[in-house]
Amino acid sequence: MNIMLTTIIYTTLIMGTLITLISSHWLLMWIGLEMNMLAMIPILMNKSNPRSTEPATKYFLTQATASMILLLSIILTMMYSGQWSIFYSNNTVISLILTTSLIMKLGLAPFHFWVTEVTQGTSLLTGMVLLTWQKIAPLSILLQNFSTINQPLILISAILSTLLGGWGGLNQTQLRKILAYSSIAHMGWMMVILHYNPSVSLLNLVIYIMLTTSMFSILHTNNNSTTLTLSHMWNTSPPTTIIILMNLMSLGGLPPLTGFAPKWIIIQEMIKNNNITIPTIMAMMALINLYFYMRLTYSTTLTLFPSTNNTKFKWHFYNNKKTIMLSPLITLSTMLLPTLPLLMILN
């Protein structure tokens, strides 16, 4: 793909998301989502082979179906209210259709199967775009319509996403699939608090994007795609093993790392709203996620494969690639917890 074409595609991708973010007109929101989806397909097919064509096809079919359902809810909203602008609606049918379409767009359970398959079939950088940037536009619509969405459906989907996001990653050896299941679980945490406090859901999205971007950047820098390649990190780049450990523990939500902040705030907000059962269930389910993060940590830092003395010093001659944004991303992903009191005041 030449530079001109790449620039046009990524500009369309960014513009589609921005149009959805700034619009208060339903039709413009839908157009922004379509621009975003159609620009993502050639990015998924960057390498023209059957392996990249398959995830692009799966992505297109799922997103096109979700877009049709969303357009149906938009038409019904216009017929019900007589206007194209966003407004509070107590119509159960419209609420159910709208919520279902956005759950499909975000890849939440039970419509989560496409997320892992598409992520696995692409490169690490494309997977990063899919699991971070592509979540912004649908979630912005949910944030603008949090009073209209179907609350029982969102809660059921959030609990299922947290459970299946942890369960699905247990026996995986492919890092892209593990991060895809991690994304599903994190989206469940965002959805469960959406009705009670949308600003906390937005905070969770920002922290999730930082954590996922830094993790994908580390893996891309060191050309890691499986747990086996992670187990060789001690032999090629020993400092990176510590960075991966901290990042994975932050993704798992362990204190005193950044990933603990959103889970703490969400549980506190749910308890404030006299809802103790759901955060308790989700906190227990988060332990499943923590298990496969710990498994990756074990593969990275606690595994020493048999080798000769010469290969143990291989890292002295290893010319590692550098990324400009990696250092600040890692810092933000692991050391933001002291700012938690400020974040709680803002929310």
Cα–Cα distances in angstroms (integers) from residue 200 to residues 166, 249, 343, in the given order: 22, 21, 9
* Domain count across the chain: 1
Share of the chain above pLDDT 70, in %: 88
What Rg, from alpha-carbon coordinates, does the chain have? 21
- Please check the confidence at residue 176 and state whether its pLDDT lies above 80: yes
Closest CA to 214 of 172, 251, 174, 169: 251
Confidence at 303, pLDDT banded by 50, 70, 90: low
Long-range contacts of 318-325 (CB under 8 A, 24+ apart): 318/236, 318/237, 320/221, 320/222, 320/236, 320/237, 320/240, 321/221, 322/221, 323/217, 323/220, 323/221, 325/217
> Is the pLDDT higher at 83 or at 130?
130
Looking at the chain, list the stretches that DSSP marks H as alpha helix, in order from N- to C-terminal side: 3-22, 26-44, 50-81, 92-106, 113-120, 124-131, 136-144, 151-167, 175-192, 198-221, 227-230, 233-236, 238-251, 260-272, 277-301, 326-334, 340-346
Is residue 133 within 8 Å of 13, Cβ to Cβ? yes
Lowest mean pLDDT among 17-31, 32-46, 322-336: 322-336
What are 217-254's pLDDT values in tens digits? 888 888 888 888 887 777 777 778 888 888 898 998 88
Is residue 214 within 8 Å of 329, Cβ to Cβ? yes
pLDDT at 292: 86
> Is the pLDDT higher at 347 or at 30?
30
* Cα separation, 178 vs 112, whole angstroms: 13
Confidence at 318, pLDDT banded by 50, 70, 90: very low
Is residue 170 within 8 Å of 292, Cβ to Cβ? yes
Looking at 170-302, list the stretches that DSSP marks H as alpha helix, in order from N- to C-terminal side: 175-192, 198-221, 227-230, 233-236, 238-251, 260-272, 277-301
Closest CA to 175 of 260, 297, 315, 283: 297
What are 75-128's pLDDT values in tens digits? 998 888 878 877 667 788 889 999 999 999 999 989 999 999 999 989 899 999
Q: Which two tokens stand for residue 278?
A: 């759901």
Confidence at 323, pLDDT banded by 50, 70, 90: low
Q: HSE-up of 133 (CA within 13 Å, CB side)?
A: 21
* Cα separation, 140 vs 34, whole angstroms: 15
What are 137-171's pLDDT values in tens digits? 999 999 888 888 888 999 999 999 999 998 998 88
- Please check the confidence at residue 307 and state whether its pLDDT lies above 60: no
Range of the domain at 277: 3-346
- Per the document, the length of the chain is 347
